[in-house]
Structure 1
Amino acid sequence: MSPQPQAAVGAPLSRVDGRLKVTGTARYAAEHDVDGAVHAVIVDASIGRGRVISVDTRAALAHPGVLKVISCRNAPKLPYRDNAASNNPPGRRLRVFQDEKVLFHGQPVAVVVATTLEAAQHAAGLVGVRYDAGRPATDLDEAEADEPTAYARGNAEAGLRSAPVRMDLTYRMARNHHNAIEPHATIARWDGDTLTVWDKTQWVVGTQTELATVFGLPPESVRVISPFVGGGFGSGLRCWPHVVVAALAARETGRPVKLVLTRKQQYFGTGFRPAYRYRLRLGSDRSGRLRAMAHEIDAETSSYETFTESVLAPGQVLYSMPNVSQAYRTVPLDVNTPLYMRGPGYATASFVIESAMDELAHKLGIDPVELRQRNEPAQDESTNLPFSTRRLRECYTVGAREFGWHRRGPEPRSRREGDWLIGMGMAAGVYDTARNTAQARVRLNADGTAVVDAAASDMGPGTYTSQTQVAADALGLTMRTVTFRLGDSLYPPTPPHGGSMTMASVGSAVLDGCDQVRRRAIELAVGDRESPLYGADANDIVVRGGRLHTENSPARGETYRSLLTRNGRSRLEALGTFTGPSGEERHSFYAYNATFAEVAVDAALGLVRVRRMLGVYDAGRIISPKLAESQAIGGITGGIGTALLEHTVTDHRDGRIVNADLADYLVPVNADVPDIRAVYLDGEDREADPLGVKGLGEVVHVGVAPAIANAVFNATGRRVRELPITAESLI
């Protein structure tokens, strides 16, 4: 069959939803106009561990406008059935208002519903809760770890003992919070036994199934609507307790209820990247070829759920070595449950591994890029599978050339500009090429326009735009004649909008559905005696600009509009599917990067300024270069935050997060963001999916923090093994 012309895919197009966003007409979760909606405000636990003794609601209920106060004292019992189709970690998920236990500081212990937001806020402060409080366990260093998840190949201990060069290093990473610009919010409305929620979520199907299991409903009785998400970074990948609270309050009051978390509540009402303690022992020969690595990893989780992430994979696949051992222990603490945050697991492990590689390079006097080249594997040594594509060597070469790596002084503190010490660093990055089952409904109308529906999300990477590009080319239409709709559980199901899987999964389903519709139109034309294409070989027909024609004779053809109208067809429809990986994989699928950083460090004050950064990516086919550039800027900016700014401080006496606001929890602002450049290697990965994509959202973050940390060492000679790197650590 003749390939379809590609006019939209690969073009640097502006976002199709851009005008809606910049004019303020895009509606986010809390902005939907639901008739009769009232307001709910959660009362948070002021202790970190214990139980509720009493809840005094008299003053709150007496306040004008207050409709109801719900707590463990009067809440109905909810089914809370098991939910296998969720992102809930193993354990027993928090059951709001179902018992008196307090598991962490900030846990919802009551909710006030009132006719105005102001009344609800004031009344929430009038609710008197008495506790039997205990001292919470919130310190990673003082709590007992669970049994480890282990991995091994070869004999790491023997390899370490025999290695001429050995290093024993311990690193620490602070807890990070997502802090997206849109707060988490939910509007819930009941119509009989049918529940509709407008929610900030990265997985409408996941929220639908969670609410269905909590309230004992069939999934089709729950509708979740989320057309726009104002940033997520992973925070919307599960249905949080406040969503259940909103739905419960709506059912109990008989009114639609709007509940918006405050900025402070998002620090304990939703998830976070967990804190880590990570010991790495490595051994090599004197030429830098790795012989062994032993990883000992401790990470925080909640006392009621065991959250884990893919922190082991980079240590298994990034470098060639015969001997590897890994032990990954979760440490249950009296905190809310962590969740995936951009580059989950991989970003954490990369900081440790890539910092250690830099330390090894310095110890041996080998250029850091050359050291990595010497340890490049020929295949995935954890599975013995060939890589689908792995162009990390090219990433190194292109990055070193484009960044001017040859200007780096190999000795620390060798470059200075006045009060500023100048350094350069680099790191490698890897991230799993995730794909999963997805569906998309495609409708070609008789007027030559098309509508494509999928229950996907768009938290900012440009799902509306990239899926429209795929659909436009597959149908042979222009971008303006295709409408892609998402964010509604009534649409065909898709996987979570995270893990860089949306383009591969949803995009492949969109491609399949559009291909089906285009082929049906072609079959209709070649079988229609009145069509100019009657009797033509269907395999020779392409569609361009809504017009079907033979590839070699463009004058012979007709439009979708004329074809469907003449045949009395109002539309052609198909359900596109992508099944994801099936059976055993024949290849190892990853995206890769090489990230380069230049920093300036004030010699007296220890202040770090990132001056420029470059990322070079082996990320498969790039559907939208403009969106890809945006992804790199966002991922690198987030990495700057992880490296230099972001961390929460916990008062271990009661589990309170001291800096639960954007005044004291620092994130990068424009003044912190340097010149950022991204280079995407041309190519595709057809082994991974029909589109040949690998995913972008995660890999652009992985490797940023160690590149900056390595640049700081090159500038100062001070090796900092704890994130974030603060001025105090450099003075």
Structure 2
Amino acid sequence: MSPQPQAAVGATLSRVEGRLKVTGQVRYSAEHDVKDAVHAVIVGASIGRGRITAIDARTALAQPGVLRVIHHGNAPKLPYRDNPASNNPPGQRLRAFQDDKVLFHGQPVAVVIATTLEAAQHGARLVKIRYDAQKPSTDLEKAKADKSITYDRGDAEAALRSAPVRMDLAFKMARNHHNAMEPHATIARWSGNKLTVWDKTQWVVGTQTELSTVFGLPADSVRVISPYVGGGFGSGLRCWPHTVVAALAAREIRRPVKLVLTRKQQYAGTGFRPSYRYRLKLGSNRQGRLAAMAHEMEAETSSYETFTESVLQPGQMLYSTPNVHQAYRTVPLDVNTPLYMRGPGYATASFVIESAMDELAHKLGIDPIELRRRNEPSQDESKNLPFSTRRLRECYTTGARTFGWDQRSTEPRSRREGDWLIGMGMAAGVYDTARMPAQAHVRLDADGTALVDAAASDMGPGTYTSQTQVAADALGLTMRTVTFRLGDSLFPPTPPHGGSMTMASVGSAVLDGCDQVRRQAIKLAVDDRRSPLYGVKPEDVVVRGGRLHVDGNPARGETYKSLLSRNNRTHLEAEGSFAGPPATERHSFYAYNATFAEVAVDATLGLVRVRRMLGVYDAGRIISPKLAESQAIGGITGGIGTALLEHTVTDHRDGRIVNANLADYLVPVNADVPDIKAIYLDGEDREAGPLGVKGLGEVVHVGVAPAIANAVFNATGRRVRQLPITAEALL
């Protein structure tokens, strides 16, 4: 069969919706114009644990414009059916206004609905709530952990006892919050027993199923619309209580309701990357070959749900290690439930493992890259499976050459420029290549244009553009003649927009649907006596620029438009699908990186400045190079925040988050972001899926923090095992 020409995939293209965004023409969740909408403002609990004993809303209700105050004392009981098709962790999800319990500081305990936002805000300040308060447990250091999740390979303890070189290291990682530009927001409207919500979500199908189970509705009675998401980093991967509150309020007052969380409310109203305590014991021979690793991890979760993430995997497969022990314990606290945040689990584990590898390299006098090469596995030792592709060695070589690794001083604190100590560091990174079932609808109209629909999301990586590229090439059309629509639960279902799975999953469904439509058109042509392609073998026909022709003979062919018009066909259509990975995988699938950092540390003040960074990635086929570079810049920038700035601070007396704002919770700004370069190795992974992609939105973040920490050590001689790295730790 002649291969279909590839003109869009791999081309350096700007976002198809870019002009709309920069000119302010797109509408985010809170910006949709819904007739007769009123405003809602949540009242959050001012204690960290206890019970509500009384609510006095009389003063609030007396204010002009205030329509209703809803709380557990007057809210209807909701079904809250189980929802197995959700991202909800095990446990019982928070049930809005269903009882008097307070489980964490900031928990929604009432909502004020008013005709204007100002009236709702004023009314919320006037609601008086009395509590029977108890002292909350919010300190990971002092709380009791749950039973361990364990993994064992070989006998790690025995191997550690006999290892010539041993290290026992303790690490701490602070809680991080997502802090995307767009706040979480919902507009809810009822039409009889049917609910429509405009919501900030990374999974319209997930929000649909959650609302249907909470309100006891058939799934098709709930429609979720989310065409644009102003950043998410994982915060939109489940339906949060405020969305339920908006829908409940709209049903109670029989008018559409708009509810937008404030920046402060997002710290209690949505999830976060949990804080960790992580102990790593490591043993090797004197040539640096690993004999054993023992990992002990404790991570915070809420008292009502048990959140876990993929923190075990890197320690099982990143390096050849015959003996591995892992114990992962969650610690229930009086906090809201954590959630996935960019590079979930892998980013946390990589900081520990890659810092330890750097420390081992220094202890043995081995170059950090050479140490990693000596411990490169021949297969995934956790699954006894071959890797589909694993090009870490090439990442190391390319990165070292490009970054000038040979200029790195092997002696810490030996390179200085005035008041600044200069250091270089590197780290490896890995992330799972996730794929899940997805569907897409494809329609080719008689005018030669195509429409592709899927209930996917785009929180920034460029889903609109990359899916249009795939569709354009598969149909043989130009980019401007293809429209890709997403963000509506009426479209064919897709998995969550997270875990780097959108391109592999949704893209494969789009490819399948477009291939079906193209083959329909080719069959129609070769069977049509009036067509120039009559009698040609279907496998010898390709489509380019909307024109079907014989491969190698462009003169013999015709356009989609002429073919469909002559046959009185208004359109051709197909349902594309992707089944996800097979039940039994034959390979181990991961994306990889080598990340390099150069830092300058003020010798007197301890201030760290990242001067330049490089990421080299084995991420399979790159559909859109321009978008891929943007992903790397964003992932590395986020990693700088994790390494040096981001830290949620809790007042353990009452569970209040002290720095719940962008003035005190620090994120990288332009002045913090250095020169960043990204290199993607040319290649593909056809074992992973028909597109050959491996996912890149997460792996670009993994490994950034340890690369910076290792560079700080090279600059200062000070090993910091706690994130973020502060000036105090270096003084």
1:325 alignment counterpart: 325
Q: CA deviation at 1:268?
A: 0.7
1:727 to partner: Cα distance: 0.4
How far apart in 2 are the matches of 1:456 and 1:511?
A: 15
Residue 409 of structure 1 aligns to which amino acid in structure 2?
Answer: S
SS at match of 1:388: coil
Aligned residue in 1 for 2:623? 623
Q: 3-state DSSP class of the match of 2:55?
A: strand
Structure 2 gaps, min length 5: none
Aligned AA (1:157) = E
Separation of aligned partners in 2, 1:148 and 1:6: 50
Partner of 1:148: 148
**In the alignment, is residue 455 of structure 1 matched against residue 455 of structure 2?**
yes
Does 2:700 match 1:696?
no
Name the aligned partner's letter for residue 626 of structure 2. Answer: K
- SS of the residue corresponding to residue 447 of structure 2 reads coil
2:159 alignment counterpart: 159
Q: 1:66 corresponds to which residue?
A: 66
The aligned residue for residue 50 of structure 2 is 50
Q: What is the deviation of 1:571? A: 0.3
Q: Distance in 2 between matches of 1:407 and 1:268?
A: 46
Distance 2:277 2:544 in 1: 56
TM-score (norm 1): 1.00
Task: Give 1:595 shift.
Answer: 0.1
Q: C-alpha distance in 2, partners of 1:7/1:44?
A: 53
Correspondence 1:427-466 to 2 at 5 A? 427-466=427-466
Q: What amino acid sits opposite 2:311 in the alignment?
A: V
State the distance in 2 between where 1:577 and 1:51 align.
Answer: 49
Q: Deviations over 1:36-95 (max 9, x none)?
A: 000000000000000000110100110000110000000000000000000000000000
Secondary structure of the corresponding residue to residue 492 of structure 1: coil
- Looking at structure 1, the residues matched to 583 and 651 of structure 2 have their Cα atoms a distance apart, in angstroms, of 48
Name the amino acid aligned to 1:578. Answer: F
Whole-Å separation in 2 of the counterparts to 1:19 and 1:598:
35
Other structure's SS at 1:576 match: strand
2:518 maps to a residue whose letter is: R
Amino acid at match of 2:493: P
Matched, 1:119 2:119: yes
Letter in structure 1 aligned against 2:385: L
**Offset, 1:112:** 0.2
CA shift digits 1:659-686 (9 cap, x unpaired): 0000000000000000000000000000
- Residue in structure 2 matched with residue 508 of structure 1 by the alignment: 508
Amino acid across the alignment from 1:7: A
How much does 1:22 deviate?
0.3
Amino acid at match of 1:136: P
- The superposition leaves residues 139-195 of structure 1 with CA deviations (integer Å, 9 ceiling, x where unpaired) of 001000000100010000011001000000000000000000000000000000000
TM-score with structure 2 setting the length = 1.00
Query: Tell me, what secondary structure is at the counterpart of 1:264?
Result: helix
Give, in angstroms, the shift of residue 531 of structure 1. Answer: 0.4
Q: Give the Cα–Cα distance (whole angstroms) in 1 for the partners of residues 210 and 250 of structure 2.
A: 17
Alignment partner, residue 247 of structure 2? 247
What amino acid is the match of 2:267?
A: Y
Aligned-partner residue type, residue 67 of structure 2: L
**CA shift for structure 1 position 582:** 1.9
Give the equivalent residue in structure 2 for 1:482: 482
Secondary structure of the 1:466 match is helix
Task: State how far apart, in whole Å, the 1-side matches of 2:455 and 2:380 are.
Answer: 34
Deviations 1:67-126 (A, max 9, x none): 100000000000000000000000000000000000000000000000000000000000
| 1:173-192 aligned within 5 A | 173-192=173-192
Using the TM superposition, give the Cα deviation of residue 214 of structure 1 relative to its aligned residue in structure 2, in angstroms: 0.1
Structure 2 partner of 1:573:
573
Q: Matched residues in 2 for 1:273 and 1:727: separation?
A: 23
Q: Hey, what's the Cα distance between the residues in 1 that align with 2:33 and 2:583?
A: 46
Task: Provide Cα deviations, 1:450-493, integer angstroms capped at 9, x if missing partner.
Answer: 00000000000000000000000000000000000000000000
2:523 aligns with 523
**1:565-604 aligned within 5 A:** 565-604=565-604
How far apart, CA to CA, are the structure 2 residues paired with 1:418 and 1:230?
A: 42
Helix, strand or coil at the partner of 2:406: helix
Counterpart amino acid of 1:701?
Answer: H
Structure 1 counterpart of 2:403: 403
Cα deviation for residue 511 of structure 1 reads 0.1
1:715 aligns with 2:715: yes
Q: CA deviation at 1:218?
A: 0.2
SS at match of 1:695: coil
Equivalent residue for 2:382?
382
2:260 corresponds in structure 1 to: 260
1:583 offset after TM fit, Å?
A: 1.2
Counterpart AA for 2:700 = V
Question: 2: CA distance between counterparts of 1:510 and 1:406?
Answer: 45
Q: Which amino acid in structure 2 is aligned with residue 450 of structure 1?
A: A
Q: Distance in 2 between matches of 1:684 and 1:550?
A: 28
SS of equivalent to 2:272: coil
Q: CA deviation at 1:637?
A: 0.0
Name 2:564's counterpart in structure 1.
Answer: 564
Q: How many angstroms does 1:137 deviate by? A: 0.2
Compute the displacement of 1:198 (Å).
0.1
C-alpha separation in 2, matches of 1:268 and 1:378: 45
> Which runs of at least 4 in structure 1 moved beyond 6 Å after TM superposition?
none
Q: Distance in 1 between matches of 2:253 and 2:57?
A: 16
Distance across 1 between alignment mates of 2:475 and 2:237: 32
Residues 679-716 of structure 1 show CA distances to partners (whole Å, capped at 9, x for unaligned) of: 00000000001000000100000000000000000000
Counterpart Cα distance in 1 of 2:245 and 2:345: 30
- Kindly state the Cα deviation for residue 390 of structure 1 after the two structures are TM-superposed: 0.2
In structure 2, the residue matched to 1:684 is 684
CA distance in structure 2 between the partners assigned to 1:286 and 1:400 by the alignment = 24
> SS of the residue aligned with 1:557?
strand
Instruction: Confirm whether residue 658 of structure 1 aligns to residue 654 of structure 2.
Output: no
**How do 1:80-119 residues align onto structure 2 when only pairs under 5 Å count?**
80-119=80-119
**Which residue pairs with 1:605 in the alignment?**
605
Q: 1:643 is aligned with what amino acid?
A: A
> Residue 208 of structure 1: SS of its match in structure 2?
helix
Deviation of residue 349 (structure 1)? 0.1
Q: Distance in 1 between matches of 2:121 and 2:566?
A: 62
Distance 1:400 1:409 in 2: 14
Distance across 2 between alignment mates of 1:20 and 1:492: 25
Instruction: Measure the CA separation in 2 of the matches of 1:383 and 1:479.
Output: 41
Deviation at 1:550? 0.3
SS in 1 for 2:309: coil
Q: Which amino acid aligns with 2:136?
A: P
For structure 1, list consecutive stretches of 5 or more residues without a partner in the other structure: none
Cross-structure match for 1:6: 6
Identity %: 84
Listed as ranges, the matches of 1:353-368 within 5 Å are 353-368=353-368
Could you tell me which residue of structure 2 aligns to residue 334 of structure 1?
Answer: 334
Residue of structure 2 in register with 1:231 after alignment:
231
RMSD of equivalent CA atoms? 0.3
CA distance in 2, matches of 1:319, 1:159: 16
**TM-superposition CA deviations, 1:210-261 (whole Å, max 9, x none):** 0000000000000000000000000000000000000000000000000000
Query: 1 CA distance for matches of 2:169 and 2:425?
Result: 19
The Cα shift of 1:553 comes to 1.2
Q: CA separation in 1, counterparts of 2:411 and 2:370?
A: 16
- Secondary structure of the 1:556 match is strand
Aligned counterpart, 1:312: 312
Partner deviation per Cα, 1:290-332 (whole Å, 9 max, x = no partner): 0000000000000000000000000001000110000000000
Alpha-carbon shift at residue 552 of structure 1 (Å): 2.0
For 2:246 and 2:40, the matched residues in 1 are separated by 7
One-letter code aligned to 1:439: Q
**1:637 aligned partner:** 637
Alignment of 1:542-561 (within 5 A): 542-561=542-561
Q: 1:8-41 deviations in whole A, cap 9, x for unaligned? A: 0000100000011000001000000000000000
Distance, in Å, in 1 between the alignment partners of 2:153 and 2:98 is 46
Q: How many residues align?
A: 731
